[in-house]
Structure 1
Amino acid sequence: MSTYLKHMGGYTYKQLKGKIFYEIQKLFDKEMKRVNTFVAMGYEVRESKEKKEEGRKETAKGSRKKMLGRKRAGKEQQKESSKKQKVEEEKESEEVDEAELKKLLVIKKDEDIAIDAIPLATKLPVIIDYKLHKEGMLVHYQLIRADGSSKRYSSMIRMLQGIDREDLEALWRIVKAKYGDTRPENEFERVLYGDLKVMFEPDIKSDIWRMLQGYRVTIWKLIDSSGVHFVRFDNLHIFMLVEKRYPLTPINLSL
């Protein structure tokens, strides 16, 4: 949606950077409505020309009835004149259409083109399930979509880099429906549940914030595709949504 707004709505990266998902969606819906109700500038010109041409043809029909008694030479001369006038009018109409189309053309510079976004026309089907695969001491996340396709990710951060915000929210709904407010017993399920819960339902009384006391941020990275901050501390890391506030202390935030 951000890419569409930059290309079709004229918004810049700085204008969209601080907006939350629902603000972006509202701007996107507004731009889509404008595009769907767009009327080309040359449409009214062509319509007027067509009405004039229809009126002229009706007049010509009446005139031909009155000219039945005239000589064939006069008829042929009038036909040639009418044909020439019609060609000139069509040429003029084409020139007007071409001028109007040039006004509508917008040339985008190379630096304004985003190459890492998911095109709207190729958006993948929604996520409907997930699986965790243990391989030694590591766990792989497998996301399953509505069309039966799936993809594995070797870590949480790689998964967040490979999905968008809509996918992330769908995954949280699935996990939330499966476990509710009960922590999973399986250690890998517990890690996934914990990461998502910290993101979507931050609780100031949670042990995670107590564990962070006295530790400083060593890495802070924004994952644009899913709208998530990856924050690494001296002893652990967390994921935070861009629009939510989290109980980080000044000591935590000092680099």
Structure 2
Amino acid sequence: MELMEKRRKHFAALRAQEKRNRPPTKAQKRTQMSTYLKHMGGYTYKQLKGKSFDEIQKLFDKEMKRVNTFVAMGSEVQESKEKGSEETAKSSRKKMLGRKRAGKEQQQESSKKQKVEKEKESDKVEEVDEAELKKLLVIKKDEDIAIDAIPLATKLPVIIDYKLLKEGVMIHYQLIRADGSSKRYSSMIRMLQGIDREDLEALWRIVKAKYGDTRPENEFERVLWGDLKVMFEPDKKSNVWRMLQGYRVTTWKLIDSSGVHFVRFDNLHVFMLVERRYPLTPITITNMLNKKLQTDH
């Protein structure tokens, strides 16, 4: 048994050594070179993702050449380079000083010429008759001048009313603005994506003035009233927040235009304003974080 155990370990060691000495495959070699370039060459994953094996090989060879030709500070080669660079710097300084002197003299001469030319031009301008200038000028009073202002951004008129239109099993939200224009949305999410926070607050004021805290009898009116009430006036005692922890989070999305979080669960959903705190349980928050937030940008 001892002999068999030694024999098994011996052959296992031979197999491991053979595996270590085996040359890497092309894919393994590419992975090793990419890892080196990311850590030592400063390349990113996106820069190396679309490149072929030969292109990766060229970048790797270039980086290795730079590393192998590195000269440490204080070495003899570095000191000789520094001495040569000092001598060349001194000679270049002398040449630069000579060029600067010549350039200054040329600038002085050119500035003198420019002054003389400007004086001549100013004398010519003064000789122009004032009567001729008046003929060319048309003076208007401020009150006669009309300024056409072009707005840089146009804000849509405020929302003054809404309608819920049923088409088959689908419900459409129609928002009516002060200028008589209106637009339909096939869902609450579509509507929140097409309006801003000011429009959302105007819609809540209209719904609240219509129903207050009284729950609407109409099913679709009740859905809109409930979504807006939970969003703007969250009640800690409401059963909505207790029910959430019993369901799995399927979607957590940020609607940036109106500043609203949309969280969908297995059998229900909830809308929340980004700057307001809501009575979420630790279980619900954990499920949301595990699902991760979806954003447009």
Q: Distance in 1 between matches of 2:85 and 2:176?
A: 60
227 and 65 in structure 1: CA distance in 2 versus 1, 3 angstrom threshold: closer
| 2:204 partner SS | helix
- Structure 1 stretch displaced more, 205-214 or 221-230: 205-214
144 and 208 in structure 1: CA distance in 2 versus 1, 3 angstrom threshold: same
| 1:169 partner SS | helix
Any unmatched runs of 5+ in structure 2? 1-32, 283-292
Preserved contact between residue 159 and residue 202 of structure 2 (Cα < 8 Å): yes
Preserved contact between residue 175 and residue 182 of structure 2 (Cα < 8 Å): yes
Preserved contact between residue 42 and residue 96 of structure 1 (Cα < 8 Å): no
Preserved contact between residue 252 and residue 294 of structure 2 (Cα < 8 Å): no
Preserved contact between residue 217 and residue 253 of structure 1 (Cα < 8 Å): no
Identity %: 90
63 and 208 in structure 1: CA distance in 2 versus 1, 3 angstrom threshold: closer
**Alignment-derived partner of residue 119 in structure 2:** 90
Query: Rg larger in 1 or in 2?
Result: 2
Preserved contact between residue 254 and residue 294 of structure 2 (Cα < 8 Å): no
Q: CA deviation at 1:214?
A: 2.1
Q: CA RMSD in A?
A: 22.1
TM (normalized to structure 1)? 0.52
| 1:220 partner SS | strand
Cα-to-partner distance string for 1:150-193 (whole Å, 9 max, x where unaligned): 00000000000000001000000000111111111100000000
Q: Distance in 1 between matches of 2:114 and 2:164?
A: 75
Q: CA deviation at 1:210?
A: 2.3
- Structure 1 stretch displaced more, 245-254 or 64-73: 64-73
236 and 71 in structure 1: CA distance in 2 versus 1, 3 angstrom threshold: closer
Any unmatched runs of 5+ in structure 1? none
Q: CA deviation at 1:216?
A: 2.8
Q: CA deviation at 1:41?
A: 50
- Structure 1 stretch displaced more, 205-214 or 156-165: 205-214
99 and 210 in structure 1: CA distance in 2 versus 1, 3 angstrom threshold: farther
Q: Which one of the candidate residues 203, 219, 243 is aligned to 1:211? A: 243
Q: Distance in 1 between matches of 2:185 and 2:264?
A: 20
Q: CA deviation at 1:207?
A: 2.0
Q: CA deviation at 1:205?
A: 0.8
| 2:139 partner SS | coil
62 and 41 in structure 1: CA distance in 2 versus 1, 3 angstrom threshold: closer
Preserved contact between residue 164 and residue 226 of structure 1 (Cα < 8 Å): yes
Preserved contact between residue 214 and residue 252 of structure 1 (Cα < 8 Å): no
| 1:182 partner SS | coil
Higher relative contact order (CA 8 A, sep 6+): 1
